Amino acid sequence: METLKLDISRVASFVPQSEIDAMKAEVEASVSTLHKGDGAGNDFLGWLSLPSSISEAEFAEIETAAAAMRSLADYVVVVGIGGSYLGARAVIDGLQSSFAAMQPVKGRPTMIFAGQNIGEDYTAELLEFLDDKSFGVVVISKSGTTTEPAIAFRLLKEMVERKFGKAEAKDRIIAVTDKAKGALRTLADREGYKTFVIPDNVGGRFSVLTPVGLIPIAIAGYDIRKLVAGAKDMEAATAPEVPFDKNLSCIYAAVRNALYRKGKAIEILVNYQPKLHYFTEWWKQLYGESEGKDGKGIFPAGVDFTTDLHSMGQWIQEGVRNIFETVVSVRTPARKVVIPTDADNLDSLNFLAGKRVDEVNKMAELGTLIAHTDGGVPNIRVEVPELNEYYLGQLIYFFEKACGISGYVLGVNPFNQPGVEAYKKNMFALLEKPGYEEATKAIKARLK
């Protein structure tokens, strides 16, 4: 197996190599802080060694529960939000057919995601869709009290019990939550659901390699051992003893911070494969929640190319020069489609006849790289040999490790998210939640 390739050569005209090399000491200090566990947020470092510590028994328990759910349900609703949802969705979408939802396959449940919004139409349409289906639910919440998934689960639980009976609900519902506390833990224990634990020392956005990600991924039919094997190889490739100039996560953390110090405050994660859309969403949460605090942080944005070249391309080419791009490029697609010759050639595309669609995609990528760097946009490129479990595992750990390092270089606690509470406090005050009486009075006075 290969290792991902990181190409920073298209950054050189924006930040000289000497400035990147000068970050070595800061990056190495951050690596040491992470591994010694003496920095801010050090009670949330369990993710660092997850790939190398998952046991055979843990794999087997997840696979057994997944097989049972697969034998029972044609559709499985994964209920969760933020870190309790994006990792699983990123991997499943990255691996499954883009048309999986339209073409259900017997024995492979179609995965549906809920509890990540409070749109009433979405909720109503979901319940209506499931009404005549054989379905199961995986409810994921570390705190067990997050409003969005709690509302969705309340509705889905009621529906499972009504359709299949209370006894069968036990087989159709899996809960992933804290080992001891929270409303979901209390409910799951009372109802006798199969449960999996989110370790105390792993925060939501770093939890894809715990049952939070592994249970839905295994139910969807993907090989969680290969995913973890990829992550484990990247854990070794980015270990503290691997020197700075060979350590992909260190280099990436150094380059993005060097760019930030030059005023490049927005990083755009770019893909050329629509299957990676949710990988970008996962990455946005990872970096956004980890770094955006204390008035600091690179704003993580994302685009799907070539689609968004026809919408965001103009801005990226000629807008404010405060951006850089990180391209995740898949070297070899799994499938092959050759462009045919057309006798009439009305579209004048016969010059492409005989070429694979991916050859066109790769030239679009190269043409864009040259255009954007010419236009003042530094470019980092991560090459992934193929889109499969193993390389997604490598990508996940590579970005997680770089995020931890980068957060410390930036001088923030990468493992908390205090800012997320502000909207919740206001929402509960507006909804007159018991215990929020003072906040309710205050917010109502402001709205008069």
From the list 323, 283, 287, 327, the residue with the least C-alpha distance to 306 is 327
For ligand PA5, the closer of residues 358 and 400 by Cβ is 400
- Sketch the per residue contact string, 321 through 340, with ligand PA5: x for CB under 6 A, - otherwise: --------------------
Residue 202 beta carbon to ligand PA5: minimum distance, rounded to whole angstroms: 10
- Stretch in the footprint of ligand PA5 (CB under 6 A) among 66-74, 141-149, 220-228, 316-324: 141-149
- Stretch in the footprint of ligand PA5 (CB under 6 A) among 33-41, 76-84, 299-307, 434-442: 76-84
Residue 427 beta carbon to ligand PA5: minimum distance, rounded to whole angstroms: 13
- Sketch the per residue contact string, 161 through 200, with ligand PA5: x for CB under 6 A, - otherwise: ----------------------------------------
Closest residue to ligand PA5: CB criterion:
204
For ligand PA5, the closer of residues 143 and 201 by Cβ is 143
- Stretch in the footprint of ligand PA5 (CB under 6 A) among 140-148, 248-256, 323-331, 349-357: 140-148
Q: Name beta bridge partners: 382.
A: 6, 328
Binding-site member from 3, 33, 123, 143 for ligand PA5 (CB under 6 A): 143
Contact 182, 143 (CB under 8 A): yes
Rg, Å, the chain Cα set: 23
> Residue 45 interacts with ligand PA5 (CB under 6 A)?
no
> Residue 407 interacts with ligand PA5 (CB under 6 A)?
no
Binding-site member from 89, 194, 205, 225 for ligand PA5 (CB under 6 A): 205
275 is catalytic: no
Of 106, 120, 241, 310, the active-site residue reads 310
Of 5, 36, 246, 424, the active-site residue reads 424
Residue 217 beta carbon to ligand PA5: minimum distance, rounded to whole angstroms: 17
Contact 161, 3 (CB under 8 A): no
Residue 257 beta carbon to ligand PA5: minimum distance, rounded to whole angstroms: 22
> Residue 210 interacts with ligand PA5 (CB under 6 A)?
no
Binding-site member from 30, 84, 238, 373 for ligand PA5 (CB under 6 A): 84
From the list 396, 327, 275, 392, the residue with the least C-alpha distance to 1 is 392
Residue 49 beta carbon to ligand PA5: minimum distance, rounded to whole angstroms: 19
> Residue 141 interacts with ligand PA5 (CB under 6 A)?
yes
424 is catalytic: yes
> Residue 87 interacts with ligand PA5 (CB under 6 A)?
no
State the residue for tokens 């409003």.
Answer: 147
Give the 3-state secondary structure of the chain.
CCCCEEECHHHCCCCCHHHHHCCHHHHHHHHHHHHHCCCCCHHHCHHHHHHHHCCHHHHHHHHHHHHHHHHHCCEEEEECCHHHCHHHHHHHHHHCCCCCCCCCECCECEEEEECCCCCHHHHHHHHHHHCCCCEEEEEEECCCCCHHHHHHHHHHHHHHHHHHCHHHHHHHEEEEECCCCCHHHHHHHHHCCEEEECCCCCCHHHCCCCHHHHHHHHHCCCCHHHHHHHHHHHHHHCCCCCCHHHCHHHHHHHHHHHHHHCCCCEEEEEECCHHHHHHHHHHHHHHHHHHCECCECCEEEEEECCHHHHCCHHHHHHCCCCEEEEEEEECCCCCCCECCCCCCCCCCCHHHCCCEHHHHHHHHHHHHHHHHHHCCCCEEEEEECCCCHHHHHHHHHHHHHHHHHHHHHHCCCCCCCHHHHHHHHHHHHHCCCCCCHHHHHHHHHHHC
> Residue 289 interacts with ligand PA5 (CB under 6 A)?
yes
- Stretch in the footprint of ligand PA5 (CB under 6 A) among 155-163, 203-211, 311-319, 341-349: 203-211
For ligand PA5, the closer of residues 83 and 230 by Cβ is 83
401 is catalytic: no
For ligand PA5, the closer of residues 27 and 140 by Cβ is 140
Sign of the dihedral through C-alpha 46, 51, 54, 55:
negative
For ligand PA5, the closer of residues 110 and 141 by Cβ is 141
**Total binding residues toward ligand PA5, as defined by CB under 6 A:** 14
Binding-site member from 39, 51, 204, 407 for ligand PA5 (CB under 6 A): 204
Q: Footprint of ligand PA5 on this chain (CB under 6 A)?
A: 81-84, 141-143, 146, 149, 203-205, 289, 417
Active-site residues, by number, are 289, 310, 424
